[in-house]
Amino acid sequence: MHRADYVIKRGFFALVTVFVAITINFFLFRVLPGSAVTDLSRVPHATPQLRRALTVEFGLDRPKWEQYLLYLRNLLHGNMGISFAYQQPVSHLLIADLKNTIPMVTVGTFASIVVGVVSGVLSAQRRGSVPDHISTNIAIFAYAFPTQWLGLMLLILFAGILPAGGMENQFLLTPEPFWQHLGDITTHMILPAATLMLTAYGSFTLVVRSSMLETMGEDYVLTARAKGLSDRLIVWRHAVRNALLPMVTLIALSLGYIVGGALLIEVIFSWPGIGLGMFTAIGQRDYPMLQGGFLILTFSVILLNFIADLVYFRLDPRISE
């Protein structure tokens, strides 16, 4: 049926994009001149044994197309190489980092969506009024300030009140009980997540507002009013429900931006996530880590885009045509 077709089509698209990303990755790091991975003399602390092992593992003495296939095969097994700096499998390190990034980014993104939708809807309802102008302009500015600047501002404002860095208290002598540990992480998460919320909500507000203005001009809103429904139902059940469709698309498009923002935030707040991992890898010239980080982040965005496609599909019954 139509619905299955759509899912398959989007799924296929996601897979192909993954494949393209992998190929670009390979091209960047292996094919381009000056590629660090091929030039083993750039591996820090490289012993001859290590070089020999790496050459075998990545097939560096074979023709490029063979390397490519080897690369694909390795990836299929989850093998993204060994970190130059830590001498451990990249995938293990990055997964551990990812586990730290996900909660912070989820909380921040969720907050930005909620704030964006609510402020967008309220603005649209009061179009042209002073609160509308204020809210819209604040949103534009929040979006325009560089993410790192917002993070630094929060640091300046809340230094001393909230933890200024890290994910948890590093100086404890004995391990904390679970709930206290959770609370510790949560207080450390407040500033980074708040920064993410501030940097992302602006675009949501603007899109929700303009989408609402368009929706409120639709005849079915007049029908809802004619039925004698309350303001709240007219706005939320009829107008917002339709206005949210472009919002889902926007969230999907913003994922790249959110990932970039999260990266900067992790650097500022020393949040031990995948962004900080990649940043450190730059300084350490740890190219396998960089590659792996790029792949994982790209995979995540592709996956989330696919999920957004499904959500949109679920929300809009007209899609299956």
Partner 1 sequence: MSLQVADPQAAGAGRRAGFLLDVLRERKAAVIGLSIIVFFIVLSLVAPYISPHSATAQTCAVYAPPSLHHWLGCDDGGIDMLSEIMQGGRISLLVGFAATLVAMVIGGGVGIGSGYFGGWLDALLMRITDYLLVIPDLVFMMVIADVWGASLFHVIMVIGILEWTTTARIIRAQVLSVRERVYIKRTKGLGASNARIIWRHILPQVGPLLIANTVLTVAIAIYLETALAFLGLEDPSVTTWGTILEHAFNRTAVSSGAWWAIVPDGFVIALVIVGCFLFGQAIEDALNPRLKVSHFSMRRWQLRPLVGRGPGAI
Partner 2 sequence: MSLLEVNGLHVWFDLPGGRQVHAVNGVSFSLDAGQRFGLVGESGCGKTTTILALMGLLPPTASVAGEVLIGGKSILAGGEDTVRRYRWREIAMVFQSAMNALNPVKRVGWQITEPMVYHGIAKGAEARKRAGDLLEMVGIPAAAGERYPHEFSGGMRQRAAIAMALACQPKILLADEPTTALDVMVQAQILELLTGLCDELGLAMVLVTHDLPVVAHLCERAAVMYAGEVVENGPVTDLYHAARHPYTRLLFAATPDLYGEDRVTSIKGAPPRLDREIQGCPFRPRCDVPLSRCEVEHPVLRTAGPDHQAACHRNEAVDVA
Positions in the binding site for partner 1 (CB under 8 A): 13, 16-17, 20-21, 24, 28-29, 32, 34-36, 125-127, 140-141, 144-150, 152-153, 155-156, 159, 164, 210, 213-214, 216-219, 221-222, 225, 231, 234-235, 239, 253, 255-257, 259-260, 263-264, 267-268, 278-279, 282-283, 287, 290-291, 293-294, 297-298, 301-302, 305
Which residue has tokens 């709240």? 232
CA pair distance 170, 41, nearest whole angstrom: 36
Q: Binder to partner 2 among 180, 220, 282, 307 (CB under 8 A)? A: 220
Buried-state track 30-50, b at ≥16 Cβ within 10 A, e below 16 = beeeeebbbeeeebeeeeeee
# chain residues binding partner 2, by CB under 8 A? 21
Ramachandran quadrant class, 97 (left: phi over 0; alpha: psi -120 to 50; beta: rest): alpha
Least distance in Å: CB of 117 to partner 2?
17
C-beta closer to partner 1: residue 47 or 232: 232
- Identify residue 29 by its one-letter amino acid code: F
Tokens coding 94: 């990055």
Whether the Cβ atoms of residue 288 and residue 84 lie closer than 8 Å to each other = yes
C-beta closer to partner 1: residue 251 or 302: 302
Neighbours of 312 (CB within 10 A): 20
Least distance in Å: CB of 225 to partner 2?
6
Q: Is 283 in the site for partner 2 (CB under 8 A)?
A: no
CA pair distance 34, 282, nearest whole angstrom: 15
Q: Is 127 in the site for partner 2 (CB under 8 A)?
A: no
C-beta closer to partner 1: residue 59 or 151: 151
Q: Binder to partner 2 among 70, 96, 140, 315 (CB under 8 A)? A: 315
Whether the Cβ atoms of residue 89 and residue 80 lie closer than 8 Å to each other = yes
Q: Is 318 in the site for partner 2 (CB under 8 A)?
A: yes
The partner in contact with residue 256, picked from partner 2, partner 1, none with C-beta cut-offs of 5 to 8 angstroms by kind, is partner 1
Stretch that binds partner 2, among 73-81, 145-153, 227-235, 254-262 (CB under 8 A): 227-235
* Cβ-based neighbours of 305, under 8 Å, separated by 6 or more: 14, 252, 255
CA pair distance 163, 242, nearest whole angstrom: 41
Stretch that binds partner 2, among 91-99, 105-113, 154-162, 237-245 (CB under 8 A): 237-245
Tokens coding 174: 């004995």
Which residue has tokens 């049926």? 1
Query: Rounded to the nearest 10 degrees, what angle do helices 287-315 and 274-284 cross at?
Result: 150
C-beta closer to partner 2: residue 88 or 230: 230
Least distance in Å: CB of 144 to partner 1?
4
C-beta closer to partner 1: residue 98 or 181: 98
Positions in the binding site for partner 2 (CB under 8 A) = 218-220, 222-230, 233, 238, 241-242, 315-318, 321
